[in-house]
């Protein structure tokens, strides 16, 4: 009989079951404040706790498809762009069963996506990052990792999804940066840096209702 190596050994589904789940950190930008969408769970475990929208991967569905399914089923949000963050496979993540989660983040304008609690969600709300409640399961960690990934993408690639309008001023862009990074930036150095990245294009439009009419930019 051929000896099996570690990668060849199969475990019977009858003796071992593992649920693959998806969790999503949905970030929004309101009144110059970065916020996260949280849902309140109405069933055990962690009944009454706030947490990230999440659920099991659907049969025949990919991970990104499952995230959009879960968001629609729990909040009414449909078809948004996603960025994968990490996979979490610790054996004690869930108090009842073995769950392996793949987390994602999304960047949206809250005003464009009305939300309503559905299924086993009793409430839903946008929270500023400095006013967060304690989250259920290990979602504090998932949110921390997603925010770190967002910050890195923002520094490296100027990726901010739908958080700003299609046309924006450099000041509006800096306000967004400062909110996400949690730090103040020198205006002259910031302007120089983002323009050197060569990803912005000046338009012929100017910001209305603002003294001096600053130039509006867009992504190339």
Residue 200: is it exposed, middle or buried by C-beta count within 10 angstroms (0-12/13-18/19+)? middle
Q: Is residue 198 part of a domain?
A: yes
The sign of the CA dihedral 47, 50, 51, 57 is: positive
| Residue 180 and residue 140 share a domain | no
Q: Is residue 177 part of a domain?
A: yes
Q: Is residue 90 part of a domain?
A: yes
Tell me the pLDDT tens digit for each residue of 103-112: 999 999 999 9
> For the whole model, what pTM was predicted?
0.84
Q: Is residue 6 part of a domain?
A: no
- Domains in the chain: how many in total? 2
Tell me the pLDDT tens digit for each residue of 67-112: 999 999 999 999 899 999 999 999 989 998 999 999 999 999 999 9
| CA 117 and chain centroid, separation | 18
| Residue 178 and residue 138 share a domain | no
- Domain of 208 in residue numbering reads as 170-219
| Residue 178 and residue 147 share a domain | no
Q: Is residue 12 part of a domain?
A: no
Q: Which of 22, 39, 218, 35 is nearest to 110 (CA)?
A: 35
Q: Is residue 102 part of a domain?
A: yes
Answer yes or no: are the C-beta atoms of 57 and 66 closer than 8 Å.
Answer: yes
Rounded-to-integer distance, Cα 151 and Cα 181, Å: 6
């Amino acid at each position: 009989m051929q000896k099996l190596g570690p990668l060849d050994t199969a475990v019977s589904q009858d003796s071992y079951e593992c649920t693959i789940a998806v969790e999503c950190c949905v970030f929004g930008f309101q009144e110059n404040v970065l916020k996260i969408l949280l849902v309140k769970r109405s069933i055990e475990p962690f009944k009454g706790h706030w947490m990230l929208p999440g659920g099991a991967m659907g049969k025949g569905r990919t991970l990104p498809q499952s995230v959009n399914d879960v968001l629609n089923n729990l909040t009414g949000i449909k078809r948004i762009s996603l960025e994968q963050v990490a996979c979490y496979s610790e054996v004690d993540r869930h108090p009842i069963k073995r769950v392996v989660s793949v987390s994602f983040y999304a960047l949206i304008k809250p005003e464009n996506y009305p939300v309503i609690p559905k299924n086993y969600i009793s409430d839903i709300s946008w929270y500023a990052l400095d006013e967060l409640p304690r989250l259920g399961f290990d979602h504090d960690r998932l949110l921390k990792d997603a925010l770190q990934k967002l910050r890195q993408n923002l520094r490296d690639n100027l990726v901010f999804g739908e958080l700003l309008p299609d046309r924006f001023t450099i000041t509006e862009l800096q306000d967004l940066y400062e909110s996400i990074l949690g730090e103040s930036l020198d205006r002259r150095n910031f302007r120089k840096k983002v323009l050197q990245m060569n990803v912005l294009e000046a338009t012929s439009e100017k910001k209305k209702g603002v003294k001096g009419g600053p130039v509006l930019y867009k992504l190339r």
